[in-house]
Structure 1
Amino acid sequence: MRYQLTRRAVLAVYAVLVIVPLVVVIFGSFKTSQELFASPFAPPTDWQSGNYQKVIGESGLGIAFRNSVIVTGLSVPLTLFIASLASYGIARTTGWKSALLFGFIVLGMAVPAQANMIPQYVQFETFGLTNSLFGLVLINIVTTLPIAVFIMTGFLKTLPKELFEAAAVDGSGPWRTYHSVVLPVSVPSLSATAIFLFVIHWNDLLYPLLFINEAEKRTIPVALLSFQGEFLTDYPLLFTGVVVASAPIVIAYVFLQRYFVAGITAGAVKG
C-alpha cells in the first residue's frame, strides 16, 4: 500500500513538471508580453492569433519549416532504408561475423557527436557540402545510422528462421525476401525507428548551426534562436515558434503510437 502511494505521488509530481511548462507555452503563444509576465499560468483573457501570423509569415519561420521538412523528409526514409538493409544482413549472418558487423556499426553510438564535428565539417567543406540542405541530409544519415541499426537488428533477430527458409523454398532471393517478407513484418520496428529518427532530425540544432550560414537555408531549431535577443527575448513569439515546431512531432506520434509501442517491445524478448 505504501509503495502504491509513493508511486502515485512520484507520478503526480512528474505529471505536474511536464504539464505546467506545456500549459505555459501554449497559453503564452496566445498572449502579449505584458499579459504573459503578469499571469503566466492563467489562460489568455483575449486570445491573440497575431503571434502565429507573425511567426509563420513575417519571421521567416515558414521558410525554416520548409527546410526542416525537406531535410527530415529525406533523412528519415533514407536512414531507414540503409539501416534495414544492414540489419537484415546482420540478422541473416551467423557466428562471429554477425557480432563483428553489428559491433562495428553500433560502435558509432559510443562516440559523442561533438567529438566528430570539426573533422566532419572540414571533410564536408572540402567536398562543397557545407551550407547545403543535401549536406545536412548526409550528416543526419551518418550520425543516426548506428541507433537505427541497433533498434532494427534486435527486432529482425527475433524472426524465426523458418520464415526465411520458406521464402527460399519458394524461390525468393535475398532482395525479394527483404522486400516481400522482411519489410512487411517489420512495420512496427520501422515505425518506432522512424519516430526516433524524426525527433532527432527535426530537433537537431548543432549540425544546422555549424553547417548552414545562409538564413534562407536555416532549419526550425536555428530559426528559433532569432527570437532570443541579447537584452530582450520576445517570449510569446518564442513560445509560438515552439508550438509550431512541435506540432509535426505530436501529430506523427499520435498516428504511429501503436506501432511505436509494438516496435519498442518487439525485440525485448527473443522468441
Structure 2
Amino acid sequence: MLFKRFSLFVYALLILVPLIIVLLTSVKTLQETFANPLGFPEGGIKFDNYVAIFQEQTMAGYFMNSTVVTLFSVSFTLLFAAMIAFGITRLSNWLGNILFALFTLGMMVPAQVIMVPLYSLVLNIGLTNSLVGLILVNISSTLPIAVFILTGFMKTLPKELFEASTIDGAGNWKMFTKVAIPLSLPSLSATAIFLFVMHWNDLLYPLLFITDNAYKTLPLALLEFRGQYATNYPMLFTGVVIASAPMVVAYVFLQRYFVAGMTAGAVKG
C-alpha cells in the first residue's frame, strides 16, 4: 500500500511540475525566465503575455482556424463512423467482418508512410493551403479508429431491439437514428473527446499542407515563437496554455460521458 502511494505521488509530481513551470513561465518576461527559470515572477503575476499574444500576434485567427478544423473534422468523422459501424453490425457475419477488418487495417498504416502520396493527392486536387483540404485529410485519417471504437460498442446492443423495430415497420435509417444513436451516446461522447484531442493537437498535417499564415492552426502557429538562435519561451508557453485550455474545459464538462463511454459494453448483460 505504501509503495502504491509513493508511486502515485511520484507520478503526480511528474505531471504537476512541468505544468507549474509552463504556467509560471507564461506570466514572466523573457528576462525573468532566463534569470530564474524555476522561480516566481519578481514583479508579481502579470498577464501581459496573454494580452500581447492576441494583440501583437494573429492568435485569434489561428484559434478560429483550429476551432473550425476540429469541429468539422470531429462532426463528420463521428457521422460517417456511426453510419459505417451500424452498417457493419447489420450485415452478415462474414461480410461485416471483412469490412471491419479493412477499416482496422487503416489503423496499422502510420501517417508518416503515406505523407508523400497524400501530399501529391491533395496538391493535385488543389486543396493545399485550405481548411477544407485539412478537414478532409483529418476525416480520412481518423475514420478507421472511430469505426473501430463504435463498431465494438454497437455489437453489444441487444439485437432484440432492432428485431422489434423491424416488426414495427422501421427501416434501417429509422433504426439508426431512433435506436442505435440514442443508445450509443456514451460511446459517441467518448469518441468525440478522443477525436477532439487528436485534431486540436495535430501538427503533422497542418505542417504538411498549410504554408499560408491565414490558414495556420494553433499548433503550427506556436512554431513561430521558435527562432533559429533563440526561443521566446514566455510567449511559447502562453500559447501552449491557450491551446490546452479548450481540451481541459471539454474534459471537465464531459468527463462523466468519457468514463461512461470507456466502460460501456465492458459487461454484456
TM-score tier (shorter): over 0.9
Q: Is the 8 A contact 1:23 1:41 kept in 2?
A: no
Give 1:266 shift: 1.2
Amino acid at match of 1:6: F
Distance, in Å, in 1 between the alignment partners of 2:211 and 2:230 is: 24
Q: % of aligned pairs identical?
A: 57
Distance, in Å, in 1 between the alignment partners of 2:48 and 2:203 is: 27
Aligned to 1:11: 8
Distance, in Å, in 1 between the alignment partners of 2:102 and 2:135 is: 22
What SS does the aligned partner of 2:107 have?
helix
Cα deviation, 1:59-106, whole Å, max 9, x if unaligned, reads 122111110011111100000000000001112223211111101011
Moved more, 54-63 or 41-50: 41-50
Aligned to 2:18: 21
Distance, in Å, in 1 between the alignment partners of 2:167 and 2:34 is: 70
Aligned to 2:227: 229
Distance, in Å, in 2 between the alignment partners of 1:241 and 1:60 is: 12
Whether 1:190 and 2:188 are equivalent positions in the alignment is yes
Amino acid at match of 2:65: N
Count of aligned positions: 268
Q: Which stretches in structure 2 are left out of the alignment for 5+ residues?
A: none
RMSD over aligned CA atoms reads: 1.2
Alignment of 1:95-244 (within 5 A): 95-244=93-242
Amino acid at match of 1:17: L
Q: Is the 8 A contact 1:129 1:135 kept in 2?
A: yes
Moved more, 44-53 or 145-154: 44-53
Cα deviation, 1:103-162, whole Å, max 9, x if unaligned, reads 101111000011011101101111101111000000000000011011111111111111
Distance, in Å, in 2 between the alignment partners of 1:60 and 1:180 is: 44
Amino acid at match of 1:206: L
Aligned to 2:66: 68
Whether 1:32 and 2:29 are equivalent positions in the alignment is yes
Q: Is the 8 A contact 1:30 1:48 kept in 2?
A: yes
Q: Is the 8 A contact 1:191 1:263 kept in 2?
A: yes
Q: Is the 8 A contact 1:132 1:217 kept in 2?
A: yes
Give 1:49 shift: 1.3
Distance, in Å, in 2 between the alignment partners of 1:127 and 1:185 is: 39
TM-score normalised by L of structure 2? 0.96
Distance, in Å, in 2 between the alignment partners of 1:81 and 1:267 is: 20
